[in-house]
Amino acid sequence: MLDPVKVGILGLGTVGGGTVHVLQHNAQEISRRAGRDIVISHACAKVLNKSLPYSTDNILLTEQLSDVVNNPDIDIIVELLGGTTIAREMTLQAIAQGKHVVTANKALIATHGNEIFTAAQNKGVTVAFEAAVCGGMPIIKAIREGMSANKIEWIAGIINGTSNFILTEMREKGSDFAKVLAEAQSLGYAEKDPTFDIEGIDAAHKVTILGAIAFGIPLQFDKVYKEGITQITAEDIQYADELGYKIKHIGLTKRTQKGIELRVHPTLIPNAQLLAKVEGVMNAVMVESDALGQSLYYGAGAGALPTASSIVADLIDVTRTLTTDPGNRVPHLAFQANALVDLPIVPIEEIETAYYLRLSVLDKLGILAQVTNILSAHDISIEAIIQKEPIDGSKHVSVVMLTHKVLEKQMIQAIQEIEILEGLIGSPTRIRLERCA
Amino acid sequence: MLDPVKVGILGLGTVGGGTVHVLQHNAQEISRRAGRDIVISHACAKVLNKSLPYSTDNILLTEQLSDVVNNPDIDIIVELLGGTTIAREMTLQAIAQGKHVVTANKALIATHGNEIFTAAQNKGVTVAFEAAVCGGMPIIKAIREGMSANKIEWIAGIINGTSNFILTEMREKGSDFAKVLAEAQSLGYAEKDPTFDIEGIDAAHKVTILGAIAFGIPLQFDKVYKEGITQITAEDIQYADELGYKIKHIGLTKRTQKGIELRVHPTLIPNAQLLAKVEGVMNAVMVESDALGQSLYYGAGAGALPTASSIVADLIDVTRTLTTDPGNRVPHLAFQANALVDLPIVPIEEIETAYYLRLSVLDKLGILAQVTNILSAHDISIEAIIQKEPIDGSKHVSVVMLTHKVLEKQMIQAIQEIEILEGLIGSPTRIRLERCA
């Protein structure tokens, strides 16, 4: 058997600890598959939790990142520092030293991936990032390799477990957003500062990566339309349910005649869709491609062990390519670097979706006619309409409508006219609707 | 760019035609990914359908298999002959000529895979078979590479689209088996001779392969327990539904203390499971593994284009490894050939499952007490029991029970004693039940 592959790990937090645990606990299964041992020889950690469920006996521990990144004995660096500043520096430094890098850092790849992959390409090394999208699910592998024969049409996914947990709880318990967020925080499903998850930033990092590997375009996080779940109410979840839909936070990337769509936002999904049945912290990604048709991938999108599952799978993949000439490896963004195409990204105003609209009105004849006239004037046709007694027992009435597909900018114009109608209470609620079919 | 990779294809039927179509239609996407063109240079077909949606202009057509298999210009052979005799000969001959082979032939791999992979290993070539399990879904890749860090515990899948279509139609329309089978045949979802699908043989081929790559055991089709869907009635489907279950034809392989289970049979699955929501001809495979936890893969399990999707993905993978030393490729059965372990296969009598039982009895006090006494004497405890007026309007009564987990051999003994009770009409129906949790 060949000598062990030596891995240096930057960061021994939750995911780093999980990675060491999986490599040790499944060492036999891993070397039976890889044909050689894969061992963590060096680790950099500022604080070491001695009560962790793995042994650090054979790991050289240091507080200096450079001790690991510059060590000539190390073949592969696992970057688990988080953030994008030091993580970027260390990744580029490891590449410059001719080392391969495995990372779970979606923010790093989404914002600095183009630079990092170019550096890696020039140096003939691999930067692997399966763990950066949907934790343990092998979705990067499925799209980059499993669907390599296909022209991909769109990808729609539940790719933020925290948001899906909150929406699931809101629906099942009828609780409001703030209460469920607090519960998610106490369970460890949401961070103390939950901004990245609930404002759609984490999902936007993942959509950036999914769009790039699906369509062969550069990574462009800045162009993703980002909308989180903070405005979703238990009332809307209940009305959607009555109409046969679930409200999910969806990341979506799609090939259209105008270019590529990159967007994350709350979305009504028909109950019959498998995506609508994905509950709690689980993730799922549906892909539509020309030869395979629809396929779906479901699993744990976060957590120490699932994320470690992807990191170690990447370590095994990289180990197998150590002797491969770089030109024959799977390209970072699925397509050869010189075959990437800078397709336009469609601005949100130019996107077409159906809509769920909810208006709170004084129970007064006439306002409904005015609303439908405005919609009609903007070529927005209504597919379903229900009038509901308010859930909170107040005197106004909720009018809920589903529209056919409409350009976002037309909807914005219509809403502006509706908003100033007399008898309307507050602003209209609008949530996009996708059939994913 | 490197020279095109030349592929010779054996068989230009539905899947062969689909493969040529995908390679031509998506040629640009494929070479953008693979970094070189992949072209069919030779094809062997006895009858050529000139009306197919692809061009044969640059393909050298022949009726002699050896013209393709022995041609020194060809890098990779795609075997789409079907059957296991000539297919085996041609595959071994191609390997002997130093050619890589891509195949969609599950029967070939399940029954002759050990011999074929040994020959390939000795010659330093790859035999790729993603298309052999669940058509276009990249399930082999997900398990062999995506889950390579994991100890896999079990795999349960809806892996025969014909059976799933028939069971779905029977439930939705309340039709009986024979009627729906005839409908499936007229729609092209079932063969004229449907034996392989409805008797569980096709699913057993796939379970053989899934078990081998999950646990690192040799392929052993003969040891798979095979039971098809021919005995399932609309009545049982309806009773299962009332109890909160769907009846699905499931292929299952599992690691237990006694060894490895390999079995295919109709199975009650709780409605809340994603597997229970997979309808029509679609396939889905759920995997439980120690680091990733539960993950699920869903897609088209058959059809010309989905199957071609996997064949072409394999062609791209093989193309990438043309310059890799054989020791660093992904091993055929996920584990290195010298690391396979011949774990015992558990005989069906030693398997533990819960059960759905249906007894048809004359409406007579006492028989239910006798039945429960017999079950109790065999340590079979009952989880739920319902007594139903017969669906067909006859005078007897259906008693439906769900049991807790029990050894198969205990259940067989109990059934033997129940069968001879006075007042019982016909034989008891028993269907295994798995929670997949």
Q: Which domain holds residue B215?
A: 140-300
Close Cβ partners of A257 (under 8 Å, ≥ 6 residues apart): none
Which amino acid, one-letter code, is at B199? E
Q: What pLDDT is stored for residue A391 in this prediction?
A: 63
Q: What pLDDT is stored for residue B200 in this prediction?
A: 98
Average pLDDT over residues A82-109: 98
Average pLDDT over residues A225-239: 96
Interface test with B, best of A140, A148, A325 (most B CBs within 10 A): A148
Residue A420 clears pLDDT 90, i.e. is over it:
yes
Q: What pLDDT is stored for residue B375 in this prediction?
A: 97
Pick the range with the lowest mean pLDDT from A198-207, B53-62, B225-234: B53-62
Q: Which of A148, A303, A331 sits opposite B313 (nearest CB)?
A: A148
Average pLDDT over residues B21-47: 95
- In degrees and rounded to multiples of 5, residue B148 shows phi and psi of -65, -15
Domain of A394: which CATH number? 3.30.70.260
- The token pair at A407 is 């350009």
Contacts of residues B55-64 at CB distance under 8 Å and 24 or more positions apart, as own/partner, are: B55/B24, B56/B20, B59/B20
- In degrees and rounded to multiples of 5, residue B326 shows phi and psi of -55, -30
Domain of A319: which CATH number? 3.40.50.720
Q: What pLDDT is stored for residue B184 in this prediction?
A: 94
Q: What pLDDT is stored for residue B143 in this prediction?
A: 98
Q: Number of structural domains, chain B? A: 3
Average pLDDT over residues B55-79: 94
Kindly state whether residues A241 and A170 are assigned to the same domain. yes
Chain B residue with the nearest C-alpha to that of A320? B328
Within 13 Å of residue A342, how many CA atoms lie on the same side as its CB? Answer: 3
d(Cα B82, Cα B69) in Å, to the nearest integer? 16
Q: What pLDDT is stored for residue A51 in this prediction?
A: 66
Among residues B1, B337, B255, the alpha carbon closest in space to that of A327 is found at: B1
Minimum distance, in Å, between the CA of residue A412 and any CA atom of chain B: 37
pLDDT digits (tens, 9 = 90+) for B114-165: 999 999 999 999 999 999 999 999 999 999 999 999 999 999 999 999 999 9
| A274 at interface of B, judged by CB pairs closer than 8 A | yes
pLDDT digits (tens, 9 = 90+) for A135-159: 999 999 999 999 999 999 999 999 9
Question: B151, B289 in Cβ contact below 8 A?
Answer: yes
| B297 at interface of A, judged by CB pairs closer than 8 A | yes
The answer for A 299-328 residues in CB contact with B (under 8 A) is 299-300, 303, 305-306, 308-313, 315-317, 319-325, 327-328
Residue B392 clears pLDDT 70, i.e. is over it:
no
Kindly state whether residues A169 and A309 are assigned to the same domain. no
Q: Which residues of A are catalytic?
A: 206
Kindly state whether residues B194 and B268 are assigned to the same domain. yes
What is the pLDDT confidence band of residue A390, given thresholds at 50, 70 and 90? low
| A34 at interface of B, judged by CB pairs closer than 8 A | yes
Interface test with A, best of B137, B147, B148, B217 (most A CBs within 10 A): B148
Position A346 in a domain: no
Contacts of B147 in chain A (CB under 8 A): 138, 309, 313
Contacts of A141 in chain B (CB under 8 A): 138, 141-142, 145-146
Average pLDDT over residues B279-296: 98
Kindly state whether residues A121 and A226 are assigned to the same domain. no
d(Cα A12, Cα B208) in Å, to the nearest integer? 40
Higher pLDDT, B56 or B317: B317
Q: Which of A142, A149, A309 sits opposite B292 (nearest CB)?
A: A309
Contacts of A40 in chain B (CB under 8 A): none
The mean pLDDT value of chain B amounts to: 95
DSSP B117-139: HHHHHHHT--EE-GGGTTTTS-H
SS3 category, B93: helix
Residue B367 clears pLDDT 80, i.e. is over it:
yes
Q: Which of B150, B297, B322 sits opposite A26 (nearest CB)?
A: B150
Average pLDDT over residues B305-319: 97
Where do runs of H (alpha helix) occur along B243-364? 304-320
Minimum distance, in Å, between the CA of residue B161 and any CA atom of chain A: 14
Question: B166, B337 in Cβ contact below 8 A?
Answer: no
Of B291, B317, B339, the position where a domain reaches its end is B339
Q: What pLDDT is stored for residue B56 in this prediction?
A: 85
Residue A394 clears pLDDT 90, i.e. is over it:
no
CB contact under 8 A, A299 and B294: yes
Close Cβ partners of A61 (under 8 Å, ≥ 6 residues apart): A42, A43, A44, A45, A48
Residue B353 clears pLDDT 80, i.e. is over it:
yes
DSSP state of B159: -
Among residues A227, A162, A157, A222, the alpha carbon closest in space to that of A188 is found at: A162
| A215 at interface of B, judged by CB pairs closer than 8 A | no
d(Cα A413, Cα A417) in Å, to the nearest integer? 7
Q: What pLDDT is stored for residue A387 in this prediction?
A: 86
Rounded percentage of chain A residues whose pLDDT exceeds 70: 97
Contacts of A297 in chain B (CB under 8 A): 142, 295-298
Kindly state whether residues A284 and A317 are assigned to the same domain. no
Kindly state whether residues B59 and B189 are assigned to the same domain. no
Q: Which of A306, A319, A320 sits opposite B291 (nearest CB)?
A: A306
Within 13 Å of residue A301, how many CA atoms lie on the same side as its CB? Answer: 27
Contacts of A324 in chain B (CB under 8 A): 320-321, 323-324, 328
Question: B240, B268 in Cβ contact below 8 A?
Answer: yes
> How far is the CA of B171 from the CAs of A87, B144, B168, B197, B357, in angstroms?
54, 35, 5, 18, 18
Chain A residue with the nearest C-alpha to that of B314? A146
Average pLDDT over residues A286-306: 97
Interface test with B, best of A78, A141, A297 (most B CBs within 10 A): A297
Residue B15 clears pLDDT 70, i.e. is over it:
yes
Average pLDDT over residues B388-404: 82
Contacts of A23 in chain B (CB under 8 A): 149
Residue B390 clears pLDDT 90, i.e. is over it:
no
Contacts of B151 in chain A (CB under 8 A): 26, 29
Interface test with B, best of A28, A134, A296, A310 (most B CBs within 10 A): A296
Residue B418 clears pLDDT 90, i.e. is over it:
yes
Chain A residue with the nearest C-alpha to that of B38? A149
| B24 at interface of A, judged by CB pairs closer than 8 A | no
Rounded percentage of chain B residues whose pLDDT exceeds 90: 88
Q: Which of A138, A295, A298 sits opposite B146 (nearest CB)?
A: A138
Domain of B296: which CATH number? 3.30.360.10
- Give me the catalytic one of B99, B106, B141, B206: B206
- The token pair at B322 is 């043309």
Average pLDDT over residues B405-413: 97
Q: What pLDDT is stored for residue B219 in this prediction?
A: 98
Close Cβ partners of A342 (under 8 Å, ≥ 6 residues apart): A217, A218
Q: Which of B136, B295, B303 sits opposite A299 (nearest CB)?
A: B295
Kindly state whether residues B153 and B295 are assigned to the same domain. yes
Which amino acid, one-letter code, is at A365? L
| B22 at interface of A, judged by CB pairs closer than 8 A | yes
Minimum distance, in Å, between the CA of residue A338 and any CA atom of chain B: 8
pLDDT digits (tens, 9 = 90+) for B43-55: 999 876 666 678 8
The mean pLDDT value of chain A amounts to: 95
Kindly state whether residues B253 and B310 are assigned to the same domain. no
Rounded percentage of chain B residues whose pLDDT exceeds 70: 97
CB contact under 8 A, A30 and B149: yes
| A148 at interface of B, judged by CB pairs closer than 8 A | yes
Within 13 Å of residue B340, how many CA atoms lie on the same side as its CB? Answer: 17
Kindly state whether residues B129 and B86 are assigned to the same domain. yes
DSSP A87-152: HHHHHHHHHHTT-EEEE--HHHHHHHHHHHHHHHHHHT--EE-GGGTTTTS-HHHIIIIITTTSPE
Kindly state whether residues B152 and B223 are assigned to the same domain. yes
Q: What pLDDT is stored for residue B51 in this prediction?
A: 65
Kindly state whether residues A238 and A315 are assigned to the same domain. no
Average pLDDT over residues A167-178: 96
Position A282 in a domain: yes
Average pLDDT over residues B84-91: 98
Among residues B228, B299, B235, B237, the alpha carbon closest in space to that of B271 is found at: B237
CB contact under 8 A, A142 and B142: yes
Kindly state whether residues B329 and B366 are assigned to the same domain. no
Minimum distance, in Å, between the CA of residue B191 and any CA atom of chain A: 22
ipTM: 0.96
pLDDT digits (tens, 9 = 90+) for B237-261: 999 999 999 999 999 999 999 999 9
Longest dimension (CA), chain A: 82
Q: What pLDDT is stored for residue A233 in this prediction?
A: 96
Within 13 Å of residue B327, how many CA atoms lie on the same side as its CB? Answer: 8
Q: Whole-structure pTM over 0.95, yes or no?
A: yes
Which amino acid, one-letter code, is at A250? I
Dihedral through CA B330, CA B323, CA A216, CA B308, nearest 10? -60
d(Cα A395, Cα B215) in Å, to the nearest integer? 64
Position A344 in a domain: no
Q: What pLDDT is stored for residue B193 in this prediction?
A: 95
Within 13 Å of residue B25, how many CA atoms lie on the same side as its CB? Answer: 18
| A134 at interface of B, judged by CB pairs closer than 8 A | no
| B335 at interface of A, judged by CB pairs closer than 8 A | yes
| B295 at interface of A, judged by CB pairs closer than 8 A | yes
